[in-house]
């Protein structure tokens, strides 16, 4: 059995190397008798949020519930910070707790203090959030892509860091290839990951968007969308139409640009097909014909 399946591996603990990365280490003379792993009360005014935080939105109801819990029970799980300068700290993990504590009127919160460079900060923030909270699929995809781009790692290395199978990582990254309208619908929980994966099976962007609107208008289930996509694919195969190659698509785009109008090309698997050139009126028709005859 794949050891990655169903878990996130070592998670944040694998990225924090214990006493060597803890500012409150007994080897640090400026911190007196404090030892690695100890907890300090840090004033909220000295804490700033993490610019590498992958979460772009916090659910209001969940934040309200956490605030109520903190008012009653205090903060059970300390926030993890890194020391930036004298009396300045930055959140590694626990921004939601920090926000709730601020709303609750607390002036200080229990914290672990760590040291980390920016790459480790980014890794910590992403692994911690994916492990402990439900980021939406687009936030996860953007976070994974950021790790690849900024930390210059492969998908395989990313898979190891977040403790997910390579195929899972690949599926998340593929979501960023969808049109922005579909990404927004996924981000806003108007469609599910299953819907999005079905839409990825459609190669034509306009058909993807058309299917999205059908999902939203008719509240289609993932199974229904899968059937819809399958029927469309089968219909195309029956008609003998094939997908144009990248170079053929480029030629069509060049022709469309040259004629300053929309050009459609359909080709079957025997190499036969048709070219459809749009025009709005007689004047535009004559202009296009003149260009074609030059």
Residue 8 belongs to some domain of the structure: no
SS3 content of the chain, % helix, strand, coil (to 5): 55, 15, 30
Residue 58 belongs to some domain of the structure: yes
Residue 32 belongs to some domain of the structure: yes
Domain co-membership, 265 together with 176: no
Q: What does the pLDDT read at residue 42?
A: 92
pTM for the predicted model, two decimal places: 0.49
Measure the CA–CA gap between 191 and 220, rounded to whole angstroms. 9
Measure the CA–CA gap between 42 and 91, rounded to whole angstroms. 12
Q: What does the pLDDT read at residue 101?
A: 94
Residue 74 belongs to some domain of the structure: yes
Query: Which CATH number covers residue 81?
Result: 3.90.1530.30
Measure the CA–CA gap between 259 and 263, rounded to whole angstroms. 9
Query: Which CATH number covers residue 165?
Result: 1.10.10.2830
Distances (CA, A) of 221 to 134, 136, 168, 181, 256: 22, 19, 22, 19, 37
Closest listed residue to residue 125, CA positions, set 81, 87, 63:
81
Residue 208 belongs to some domain of the structure: yes
Residue 138 belongs to some domain of the structure: yes
- Examine the residue annotation and report whether 95 is marked as an active-site residue of this protein: yes
Q: Which domain holds residue 40?
A: 17-115
Q: What is the DSSP track for 245-286?
A: PHHHHHHHHHHHHHHTS-EEEEEBTTS-EEEEE--SSHHHHH
Domain co-membership, 139 together with 217: yes
Domain co-membership, 235 together with 141: yes
Q: What does the pLDDT read at residue 44?
A: 95
Measure the CA–CA gap between 96 and 265, rounded to whole angstroms. 52
Residue 125 belongs to some domain of the structure: no
Q: Which long-range contacts (CB under 8 A, 24 or more apart) does 136-140 make?
A: 136/186, 136/187, 136/189, 137/172, 137/175, 137/186, 137/187, 137/193, 137/196, 138/175, 138/176, 138/183, 138/186, 138/187, 139/54, 139/55, 139/56, 139/187, 140/54, 140/172
Among the options 17, 41, 59, 95, which is catalytic? 95
Residue 3 belongs to some domain of the structure: no
Domain co-membership, 179 together with 233: yes
Domain co-membership, 190 together with 107: no
Q: What does the pLDDT read at residue 241?
A: 61
Q: What does the pLDDT read at residue 30?
A: 42
Domain co-membership, 209 together with 173: yes
- Write the DSSP symbol of residue 127: H
**Number of folded domains that form the chain:** 3
pLDDT in tens, the chain (294 residues): 444 443 344 444 444 444 444 444 433 434 433 333 457 899 999 999 877 666 656 677 778 888 988 888 888 778 888 888 888 898 887 888 999 999 999 999 999 887 666 677 767 777 776 665 567 888 888 878 877 876 778 889 888 888 888 998 999 999 988 988 898 899 888 999 999 999 998 888 888 888 999 999 999 999 998 988 887 766 555 545 667 777 788 888 888 888 888 888 877 766 778 888 888 888 888 888 888 887
């Amino acid at each position: 059995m794949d050891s990655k399946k169903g878990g996130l591996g070592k998670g944040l603990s694998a990225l924090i190397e214990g006493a060597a990365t803890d500012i409150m280490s007994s080897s640090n003379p400026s911190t007196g008798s404090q030892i690695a792993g100890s907890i300090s009360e840090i004033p909220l005014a000295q804490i700033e949020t993490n610019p590498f935080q992958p979460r772009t939105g916090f659910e209001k109801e969940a934040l309200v519930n956490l605030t109520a819990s903190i008012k009653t029970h205090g903060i059970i799980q300390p926030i993890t910070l890194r020391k930036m300068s004298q009396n300045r700290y930055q959140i590694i993990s626990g921004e939601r707790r920090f926000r709730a504590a601020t709303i609750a009127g607390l002036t200080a919160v229990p914290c672990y203090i760590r040291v980390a460079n920016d790459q480790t900060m980014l890794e910590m923030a992403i692994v911690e959030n994916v492990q402990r909270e439900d980021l939406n699929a687009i936030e996860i995809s953007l976070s994974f892509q950021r790790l690849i781009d900024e930390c210059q790692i492969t998908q395989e290395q990313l898979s190891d860091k977040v403790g997910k199978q390579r195929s899972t990582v690949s599926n998340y990254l593929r979501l960023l290839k969808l049109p922005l309208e579909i990404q927004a619908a996924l981000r806003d929980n108007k469609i599910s990951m299953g819907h999005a994966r079905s839409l990825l099976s459609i190669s034509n962007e306009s058909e993807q968007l058309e299917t999205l609107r059908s999902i939203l208008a008719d509240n289609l289930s993932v199974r229904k969308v899968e059937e819809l996509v399958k029927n469309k694919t089968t219909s195309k195969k029956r008609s003998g139409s094939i997908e144009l190659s990248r170079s053929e698509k480029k030629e069509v785009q060049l022709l469309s640009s040259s004629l300053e109008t929309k050009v459609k090309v359909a080709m079957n698997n025997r190499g036969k097909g048709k070219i459809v050139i749009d025009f709005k009126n007689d004047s535009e028709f004559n202009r296009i014909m003149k260009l074609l005859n030059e």
